[in-house]
Amino acid sequence: MTADRPRILLVDDDATIREHLTGVLERSGLDVEPAADGAQALRSIEASTPDLVILDVMMPVMDGREALRRIRAGHDWLPVILLTQVGESFERAAALDEGADDYLNKPFDPQELLARIRAVLRRSSRGSVPLSAAQALRAGALRIDRPARRVFLGDIEKQLTPRAFALLEFLMSHPDEVFGRERLLQTVWGFDAIVTSRAVDHRVAEIRRVLGEDAAAASYVETVPGLGYRFVHPVERG
């Protein structure tokens, strides 16, 4: 651990949100640099690279998505959390596709943002290359091609339903982290109105069936009793 406080670049065009989120994050031990739009954010990153970027999607001058693309073009490993607007499920899919490390729907609880920031920082402090922007991921014999939405086990292509693929992709790009079913529902499905986590369990069962795994001795997706699921195999870009 360094003595330095992690530096966060907070990009949002709303002055009230900037002001108060800055206050909350600074009191929690983070150094916050505010920016009002994507162009300002890019200039700030050029001047001095932060440890993490929090990026609003809807902004004037340059919106968050364009800013994310440009950040990814120059800084493959810089972690980004996107703040998406209410609704628009395509934003969620786009957020993960374009290499955001996490996303949060507005309005959110600032404590939730803090928890996500800490999780992302933990991930990047391990010194490993982040997987969020990788086109393909490999874990042993398992390989997924993200843009093409294809799964291979050894040389054989396997068939997964789109939601099972999205679930596997999300778990695989966050190896060793435990995700609750609620969180997975929000991230992969978008409609978390489902009163039960059954949908998640079904897709995990599908993934295991397709990968020929045994739930009791899973080498890829492991059940963490009482908590949720975790991708246990080491993952590399591939």
Partner 1 sequence: MSARTQEDLRILAGAVIVPAVLGLALSVIWWAAGGDGTFYMTVSLPWLPFAVGLLISALLLPALVTLIAMHRHVEQVRRRTVQEQTASRRRLLARLDHEIKNPIQGIRAALADEPSERQRASIDAQSQRLTSLLGDLRKIGEVEHTALELTTIDPAALVEEAVATITEAPGAGERRIAVSLPTAPRPLPPIVGDEDLLFLALVNVLTNAVKYSAPGDAIEVRGRAAEDVVVLEIADTGRGIAPEELDLVWEELGRAQEARSVEGSGLGLPMVRAIVERHGGTARLDSWHGEGSTLPLSLPAAGPTAGG
List residues binding partner 1 (CB under 8 A).
86-89, 105, 107, 161-163, 189-196, 198-199, 202
Alpha helices for the chain (secondary structure H):
15-27, 38-47, 64-74, 89-97, 110-125, 162-172, 181-184, 198-211
Comparing CB distances to partner 1, the nearer of 174 and 203 is 203
Sheet holding 228-231, edge to edge: 178-179, 228-231, 221-224
Comparing CB distances to partner 1, the nearer of 3 and 193 is 193
Q: How far is the CB of 109 from partner 1 (least distance, A)?
A: 8
Distance (Å, rounded) from C-alpha 178 to C-alpha 151? 22
Helix axes 89-97, 162-172, angle to 10 degrees: 50
DSSP state of 6: P
Nearest to 204 by CA among 170, 157, 154, 156: 170
Distance (Å, rounded) from C-alpha 216 to C-alpha 179? 18
**CA-based radius of gyration for the chain:** 18
Distance (Å, rounded) from C-alpha 6 to C-alpha 30? 5
Identity of the residue numbered 23:
G
